[in-house]
Structure 1
Amino acid sequence: MEAVREEARFPREQGANSLGLLPVPSGSYKIPALEVHSSNTPNEEIAESSSIYLSLILPTYKERINVIGMVAILTTLLDEALPGAYEIIVVDDDSPDQTWEVALRLMTHYPALRVMRRTGIRGLASAVLRGWQAARGEVLGVIDADMQQSPEVLLQLLEKLHFGADLAVASRHIEGGGVSNWNLFRRGLSRGSQLLGLLVLPEIVGQVSDPMSGYFLVRRQAIANRRLRPCGSKILLEVLSEGDVQQIEEVGYVFHEREERQEIVLKKNIEFIKHLLRLRLRVSRLRRIWRRRKSFPTTRFMQFGVVGLTGVLLNTLLLSTFQGQLGLGVLASSLIAAELVIVGEFTWNDVWTFGDIARQQRQWNQLVKRFMKFNIVCVMGLMLRAIILALLSGGLSFNIYAANMLAISVLLLWNFWISLKLSWRVTELSQRCGEDPPKIAA
C-alpha cells in the first residue's frame, strides 16, 4: 500500500497519460451486448475480453485519496474470488484534484484497473453508463469510491449472481442493513421519497427494498441494447424500469454516510422524484409493465380484507362501549377504539396474512418496527379516506354512502399495498447467505 501511495504522489511531469485513458463513448446510453466469437480467433484482445466476468465501475469526483484505498481493497477481494476474470473501471468527471491521474498511476500496480476521464459533463448516473459501455464483462456493477459502501458485500452480491439472479442489490433496508449516522431529517426524507415512489411507480419501486441504492450488480444481457436515460445520481431505477430483470436478490449492508449539507441531501431526493415522474410518463414503459405484470397476491389481499372487515366491526363495538357504557367523549372514544383496532389488525396480519414473512423476522426490534410502520400506514390511510370522502361528497356531489364505500375501497388497497411493500417486505432472503461465496471460474 505504501508503494501505491508513493506512486500516487509522483509529480505530474512524469506523464500519467502515457499509460492510456479509455475513450469516452458518445451518443445514446445503450449498453452493447457481448459479441460471440469463435474460439480460434486470432484476435488476442477479443479472446481477453471474453474472459472478463465482472466489470465494476467506480464513478469518481474529487476522490483522490479514497480511490487509492478502494482500488486496493477491491483488488484484494476480487483476485481471490475472480482471479483474472474482472476489471475495475474508474470513471472520473475531470476532478480538479486530478483523481483520474492518480487512478492512471495505480494501473502500474493493478493490471485489472482501467481509467476513463470525462470532460465537459458531470453526473454519477451518466458516468456509470459510459463506464458500462466501455466494459467487457458479462456482469456489470457499480460501487461508490468514497468508502461509504462496504466492499466486502461485493462477494455476497457475486454469490447471488452465481446462483441465478439477474440483479443483486446491496440494501440498507433489509436484515443486516442500516445507516450509520443519519439524522431524523435524512431518515425522514429517505423514507418519504421511497413511500412516494411506491405510490407513483409501485410496480418498479416495489421490486426492491432500497430503490435509491447505488451499489449493485446486473447481468449485461438484462440491459443490453435497452434505451437507458440517466438522471441525477441514481441508476438503479433505470435498470429496473428498462431492463429485462426477472430474478432480483438483495444483500443487507450498513451505509457509512459522511456528513453532507442538507441542501445536497434534498437535491438528491428531488432528483430521485423527478426520475420517478419521468418514468411514470413513458407510455411505452407502461405497456411493457402491463405485458410483464406479475400476478396479484390475491390470497394475501383476501386475508387482509377479512382482517380489515373484522376491524370495522370491532371498531363499532368498541366505540359503542367506550362512549355509551363508559361515558367517554366522542373524540377520546374514537381515538382509543381506532388504536386498539390497529393493534388487533396488526396482530392478525402478522400471524396470518404475512405470517410466512414475519416468521423470518422474529426479533423484538423487528416486531416493533413492523408495528410502527403499520400504525403510520393506517393513520395515513385514514387521512386519505377523509380527503377522498370530502372530495367526492362535497366537491363532486357524490351520494355520501357511495362516496364512503369508494373511500373505504381505496383505503383497503392503500393499506394492503403499502403494508406489503413497507411494513412486511416480501423480498426473498436467500438461505445461502451464511455460506462462503464460491470462487467463480474464469
Structure 2
Amino acid sequence: MPETTVQSAPSVAAQPGGMPVLSVIVPCFNERPNVVPMIAKLDEALAGVAWEVIYVDDNSPDGTAQEVRRIAGHDPRVRCIRRVGRRGLASAVIEGALSSSADYVAVIDGDLQHDETRLPVMLSSLRAGGYDLAVASRYAEGGDSAGLPSKWRHMLSDGGIWLAQAFMPVRLTDPMSGFFMLPRSLFEQLARGLNGQGFKILLDLVLSSSAPLRVLEVPARFRERAAGQSKMDALVVVQFAGLLLDKLCGGLLPLRFFSFALVGALGIFIHLAVLATVRHSSSLSFETEQAAATIAAMVFNFHLNNSITYRDQRLSGPGLWRGLLLFTVVCGFGAIANVGIAQILYERHTAWSIAGGIGALIGVVWNYAISATLVWRSR
C-alpha cells in the first residue's frame, strides 16, 4: 500500500539562473472562467517555489488560450500551448511535459477541483528521495471525493479503479487520479512507451515503466466544479479499459484498432436486429431488407467510432456528413473485399468458418486503415 505524507512541507528555492523547479501542466478545453482563479491559487500555494504553469489548450472555442496569453503578457511564469487539429488529455499532458525544462512536472486539471495546496507536499517528498511518483488521492486516508457530482460519476470512478487495480503492478487507491507529480527526467524516459490516448494518463505512465514505480499517495480533497462542464462520462471508462487491453498486449495492435473492431462487432448485432425487425414488419424483398440493415449498421458504426474510437478527432458540422459518406463508401469496398476473398478461399476447399473469418478480418483491417486515412485524418 503506498504511504501517505505529512500535511505540510518546506518551501523549495529556485535553481541557479532562475530556471523553474516545477512545471505545472494544465491540459484544458473550454476552461476560460477558471484560468484567472487557477493561476491565483497556484501563486498562493507555491509561494517560495520557482514554478511555471503550462496550459495545453485544445483550441477551445471559448477563448481559453487567449485568456492564458493575456495573463502571460505580464506574468512570465505562465505559458500556453494551443493545439489545432488534435485533441485529448493524455497527448496534451505529453506535449506540455516535454516542453518543460524544470526538474519536476505536475499534472493538474484546470477546473479547480484538484487541491493545489498538495503541490508543495508532493514536490518536497519527491525531492527528499525514495519515491518516483507522487499521486494526489481522493481515497487515501484523509482524502475526500465529495466533488464527484452524482452517484453516476461515483460509479464510473469506482468501476475504473476496480479495473485498474486488477492489473497495476503497484497498489494505488486512486489510479483514476488526474493529479500527480514526477521528475521530468523520468517522464521523458517513459514517454516513448506511452499510448497517448484517452483521459487517464497516470495508468499509462505506471504501466509503461519496466520496473514498478515507487509511488507515494498524498491525501487530497476533490472539490465541486466552480464553472464549466465536466468531461467525464462513460466513454472515459471505455477508453480506460481499452488502454489496459493495449498494455496487456504489449502495444502490438493500436488501441484504436481494438476500439474499431469492437464497434464493428456491435454493428453486427445492430445489423441483425434491424434485419429481423424489417422482415417481420414489411413485405420487402430480402435484398432490400438486407440493404436497409447494412445502411443502419454503417450509420451506427460511424457515429460510435466518431464518439469513441476517434474522440480526439471527432467530426462535427459539415465534416460529419462528409465523413459519414466517406465511411459508407469505405465500408462498401471493405464488404466487397470480405465477401470476395471468403468466396475464393471457400472455393479452394477452405472450411467455411475459416474462410468467413479471414474475409471478415481483412474487411475490418481495410475499413480501419482507410477510415483512419480518409475519414478521420488529422486536420
TM-score, normalised relative to structure 2 = 0.57
* Distance in 1 between residues matched to 2:231 and 2:71, nearest whole Å: 34
SS in 2 for 1:273: helix
Residue number among 170, 182, 197 corresponding to 1:218 in the alignment: 182
Q: Which runs of 5+ in 1 are unaligned?
A: 1-45, 285-442
SS in 2 for 1:67: helix
Q: Contact 2:24–2:105 (CA<8 Å) still a contact in 1?
A: yes
The reply on whether 1:185 has 2:152 as its aligned counterpart is yes
Q: Which amino acid aligns with 1:158?
A: L
Residue number among 88, 112, 118 corresponding to 2:53 in the alignment: 88
The reply on whether 1:231 has 2:197 as its aligned counterpart is yes
Q: Contact 1:116–1:131 (CA<8 Å) still a contact in 2?
A: yes
Residue number among 221, 227, 230 corresponding to 1:254 in the alignment: 221
Could you say which residue in structure 2 is the equivalent of 1:107? 72
* Distance in 1 between residues matched to 2:55 and 2:228, nearest whole Å: 23
- Give the number of equivalent residue pairs: 232
Deviation digits for residues 138-184 of structure 1, max 9, x if unmatched? 11111111111111111221122122121110001111112115433
For residue 207 of structure 1, report the CA deviation from its aligned partner: 2.8
Q: Which runs of 5+ in 2 are unaligned?
A: 1-14, 253-379
For residue 67 of structure 1, report the CA deviation from its aligned partner: 0.9
Seen in structure 2, the aligned counterparts of structure 1 residues 247 and 81 have a Cα distance that, compared at 3 Å, is farther
Could you say which residue in structure 2 is the equivalent of 1:21? none
Q: Which amino acid aligns with 1:223?
A: F
For residue 247 of structure 1, report the CA deviation from its aligned partner: 2.2
* Distance in 2 between residues matched to 1:144 and 1:62, nearest whole Å: 12
Residue number among 169, 172, 180 corresponding to 2:135 in the alignment: 169
For residue 202 of structure 1, report the CA deviation from its aligned partner: 3.7
Seen in structure 2, the aligned counterparts of structure 1 residues 245 and 155 have a Cα distance that, compared at 3 Å, is farther
Residue number among 135, 142, 151 corresponding to 2:116 in the alignment: 151
For residue 261 of structure 1, report the CA deviation from its aligned partner: 8.8
Q: Contact 2:140–2:173 (CA<8 Å) still a contact in 1?
A: yes
For residue 236 of structure 1, report the CA deviation from its aligned partner: 0.4
Q: Contact 1:57–1:128 (CA<8 Å) still a contact in 2?
A: yes
Q: What RMSD over aligned residues (CA atoms) do the two structures have, in Å?
A: 2.5
Seen in structure 2, the aligned counterparts of structure 1 residues 188 and 81 have a Cα distance that, compared at 3 Å, is same
Q: Which amino acid aligns with 2:183?
A: R
Could you say which residue in structure 1 is the equivalent of 2:239? 271
For residue 76 of structure 1, report the CA deviation from its aligned partner: 2.7
Q: Contact 1:75–1:110 (CA<8 Å) still a contact in 2?
A: no
Q: Contact 1:157–1:168 (CA<8 Å) still a contact in 2?
A: yes
The reply on whether 1:125 has 2:90 as its aligned counterpart is yes
For residue 87 of structure 1, report the CA deviation from its aligned partner: 1.5
* Distance in 2 between residues matched to 1:283 and 1:65, nearest whole Å: 38
Deviation above 3 Å: which 4+ runs of structure 1? 46-49, 243-246, 257-264
* Distance in 1 between residues matched to 2:199 and 2:137, nearest whole Å: 17
* Distance in 2 between residues matched to 1:283 and 1:116, nearest whole Å: 28
For residue 276 of structure 1, report the CA deviation from its aligned partner: 1.1
Q: Contact 2:168–2:206 (CA<8 Å) still a contact in 1?
A: no
SS in 2 for 1:88: strand
Q: Contact 1:92–1:117 (CA<8 Å) still a contact in 2?
A: yes
Q: Which has the larger radius of gyration?
A: 1
Q: Contact 1:56–1:140 (CA<8 Å) still a contact in 2?
A: yes
SS in 1 for 2:105: strand
| Overall identity of the aligned pairs, in % | 36
